Each structure stands twice: as C-alpha cells, then as structure tokens.
C-alpha cells in the first residue's frame, strides 16, 4: 500500500502540482539531496496519495472557495493582482462560489454563482472549464488537510523568484517561457528543460510543466518557513463556511 500523503510529517519531499486537460503534472523535490522528479497523475486521489508522501503540496488551484461570489474575487485574489499589476494580474481569476461547483450545466453554474449575492458576477467560460478540477479538489479538502495542502499561484511564485518583480512576458510566449525556465534554474530546478522536453505534448503544455515547478518551489519555501502569502502573514486569513482559509502562497 502506498503511504498516505496525510501522514507525511517527516517526509523529506515537497511537491507542486498544476492541472492540465488529462490530469495533474506533479514536480517533487527532496530536501536533503535536491533530487527532483516530474510526472503526471490522473486525478486528485493520486495527487493526495503520492508515494513520496510530500510534507507540503502546493497546488495551482483554488482551495478556499468563497461561500458567495464577489466582484473581484476573494481578498487574497485582489491582493495578488495588486502585487502582479498589469498585465500579469489578469492571470488571477475570481473563483466561483462553492455551490456553483455542483451545477450540471454552465447556465446552472451561472445562476448558482449569482444566487446568494445580488451583486455577484457571472462565471466566465474559462473559469467554468476549471470547475471539474475545483470540485474534485473541494470534496476531500478539510482544514486539517490544508495544513499540508496549500493554494499557490505560479505567477506569484515567479514574482518572488524575480525579486518582487513580475515577469514581463506572458508564459504563453517563447520569451516568457525562457525567462521562467531561467528563474527556475537559478533557484535549484536545473532539470526543468529536460522535463519540458520529455513530457510536453498535445495535452500537457510546456507552461503547465513550468508552473508545476514554480508551485514546487513555493512548497519548498512553505516547508522551510520562508514563504509569503496573500493576505500577509501578519493578518489572519479569512475562512469559508467549511473552515478553509482563503489564501494564496508564494
């Protein structure tokens, strides 16, 4: 039987994950040897039960969903956009209300998102396409599990790697990917180019692999106690009705 990721207090591994069409791409880093592994898994069950049992798992996906949708999203979303500025701040989307995850159609999700708040925004098609992964992650998440599984955002990770400056070029451009690979190499992920070459394809993009490396970098910082977050660590993060903190780490 594979070890449970929730019993991983003494594990030397940390991990970062980014979702793609067919599953999740995962990057793992071992703290004592700096060994890095990159692979894909099919679903959330596999993500939460990795054989390395990482002590910290950073996921590029919303974890602390709001109870009601608000224009501009959660306080942590707005804070993240302020840090990233324009245009990188547009990569931080406003998550749907928790209840919208259980809609069977886009129109129903729109209605549920607007139901609890007369000023609630609609739901973009791009956000709706992420609903299956948000729902799959929401089902097993608990406040106890959130002590180890953290919401991260790659652009915030690169912002921190880059000395508090957003990366100028989009991650979807060659220049943007070169810049992000360079930052990862500088920060201990020298195998990122090899990982992109071996894994990238029609379903899994180079940007997904790069983002998973950034999430792993932030997971390592969380494990070391050097990570930062939105809202700032000096402030108490708000929680939703399920007791999950609404926060984004970098």
Measured at the CA of 94, the angle between CA 75 and CA 134, to 5 degrees, comes to: 110
- Preceding omega of 231 cis (within 30 degrees of 0): yes
Q: Stretch 43-53: mean pLDDT, rounded?
A: 97
pTM for the full predicted model: 0.94
Model confidence at 9, in pLDDT bands (50, 70, 90)?
low
- pLDDT value of position 108: 95
- pLDDT value of position 226: 97
- pLDDT value of position 4: 44
Domain boundaries, the chain: 1-93+134-250
pLDDT tens-digit readout, 101-142: 999 999 999 999 998 778 888 888 999 999 999 999 999 999
Closest to 230 measured CA to CA, from 74, 100, 86, 116 = 74
Residues in Cβ contact with 1 at an 8 Å cutoff, skipping those fewer than 6 apart: none
């Amino acid at each position: 039987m594979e070890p449970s990721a929730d019993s991983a207090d003494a594990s030397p591994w940390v991990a970062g994950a980014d979702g793609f069409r067919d599953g999740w791409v995962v990057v793992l880093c071992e703290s004592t040897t700096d060994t890095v592994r990159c692979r894909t898994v099919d679903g959330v069950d596999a993500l939460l039960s990795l054989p390395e049992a990482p002590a910290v798992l950073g996921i590029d996906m919303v974890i602390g969903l709001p109870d009601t949708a608000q224009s501009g999203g959660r306080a942590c979303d707005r804070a993240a956009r302020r840090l990233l500025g324009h245009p990188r701040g547009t990569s931080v989307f406003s998550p749907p209300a928790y209840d919208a995850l259980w809609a069977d159609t886009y129109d129903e999700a729109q209605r549920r998102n607007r139901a609890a708040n007369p000023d609630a925004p609609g739901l973009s098609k791009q956000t709706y396409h992420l609903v299956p992964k948000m729902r799959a992650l929401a089902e097993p998440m608990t406040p106890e599990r959130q002590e180890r599984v953290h919401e991260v955002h790659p652009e915030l990770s690169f912002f921190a790697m880059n000395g508090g400056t957003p990366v100028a070029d989009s991650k979807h451009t060659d220049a943007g990917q070169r810049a992000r690979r360079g930052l990862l190499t500088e920060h201990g992920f020298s195998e990122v180019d090899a990982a992109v070459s071996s894994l990238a394809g029609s379903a899994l993009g180079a940007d997904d692999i790069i983002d998973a490396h950034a999430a792993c970098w932030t997971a390592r910082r969380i494990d070391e106690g050097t990570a930062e977050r939105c809202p700032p660590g000096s402030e108490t993060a708000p929680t939703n009705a399920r007791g999950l903190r609404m926060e984004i780490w970098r």
